[in-house]
Amino acid sequence: MTTLLKSATIIDTSSPFNNQVKDILITNGTITKIDNNIPNQKEYKTVKLDNLHVSTGWFDTSVSLGEPGYEERETIKHGLEVAAKSGFTEIAVNPNTNPVTENKASVEFLINKATNFATNLYPIGTLTQQSKGIEMAELYDMQQSGAVAFGDYNKPINNDNLLKIALLYAQNFNGLVLSFPKNKAIAGDGVANEGVNSTTLGLKGIPNLAEEMQVARDLFLLEYTGGKLHIPTITTEKSVKLIKEAKKKGLDVSCSVAVHNLLLTDDELHGFDGNKKVNPPLRTKKDVKALVKGVRDGVIDIITTDHNPIDIEHKKVEFSIAKDGTIGLESAFGALNTILDLETITNCLSKNPKERFQIKLNTIKENEKANLSLFTPNGEYTFTKNNILSTSKNSVFLNKKLRGKIYGIFNNKQLILNS
């Protein structure tokens, strides 16, 4: 199949065509020509879209899918289709399934279920057996089967020595260890950011300290052991400072922030909407400002949707007992496009996460594999349930003003476009 993308603005800091408007010819999944005007002489499939922009394909490092065990929330098949139509060519899938992804067989199950899709699926294996934080899981076996990292999704490793051993052991095969930034003893039964809003609303608070103590501990351990550490979904100003200092020391640490924590604050809690209950929680304006600055300065390497489908039975309940999590694939670009420039967005969604998780990064140039996200930064709209493609509808961005539109992706010799 041959596809011709017409008048595409290329956003790729590694490409010689960055910020240029070009035609792109793709033959059998490979970019064969990039030029100012490529005539369609052989009735190629032509893609001509309003203010078309293309970047290297986006990779989301934290996506939860229900299957196996929670198929009513989302299946692998449908989740990959949603990811493609949201602009993502790759996703890393969290191990919070039933059973959890903790061995060779469960990793291979996910990979086999995800074959022949436009969006690639990369499993994250648990760091500990059954994600219970007691004994280390079969990390090497899982990596040999295709796992790209190891972490217990949204569960902290309370045992300091266990994390120390994991960081030491994973160095034998260049494994990436994830450590969720939450001190369970300090967080307690908290359900929202500790502050004026939680006090006013009578909600148990989670102080910034709960995150920052864990980040500090993880960085101390990393300094002692060496190895590769990724701290997912940080939310506080102090966490940014701690990671910045660690990077200055030369520690091999990266971190991510969820899209919703870059835009929304705990002011959203008024109304007790269960869709606004996320883990880590929404913080303050001061924290949001520090997180955005951290992204712009390069301290925060990766932006993730932290996409976590939850069925209505576990969301439309009393706030304190609602399950944590929001979907985020469909709203990610539209939200980020309201606060960040395109090069920062694409670097944090593509170049940086792929390099960190050791995923092949294809540049937009001739004779490279076509791995592309297609979008336009133009057009404001209100995000409603009509914009949700996921099976579960638990979006924190419902009724928010977003900007831009996803056209689709080209990957694995497949063109996926939104209708």
306 counts as catalytic: yes
- Do residues 84 and 323 make contact, with C-beta atoms less than 8 angstroms apart? no
Q: Do residues 333 and 303 touch, judged by C-beta distance below 8 A?
A: no
Q: How far is CA 363 from CA 6, 20, 85, 107, 185, in A?
A: 18, 14, 21, 28, 45
| Strands of 12-119, DSSP E | 21-27, 30-35, 45-47, 53-56, 58-63, 88-93
- Sort strands 2-11 and 53-56 into parallel, antiparallel or unpaired: parallel
H or E segment at 365? none
Find the catalytic residue in 189, 306, 324, 341: 306
364, two tokens: 């937009």
Q: How many CA atoms lie within 13 A of 136 on its CB side?
A: 19
Q: How many CB atoms sit inside 10 A of residue 387's CB?
A: 15
Catalytic residues: 306
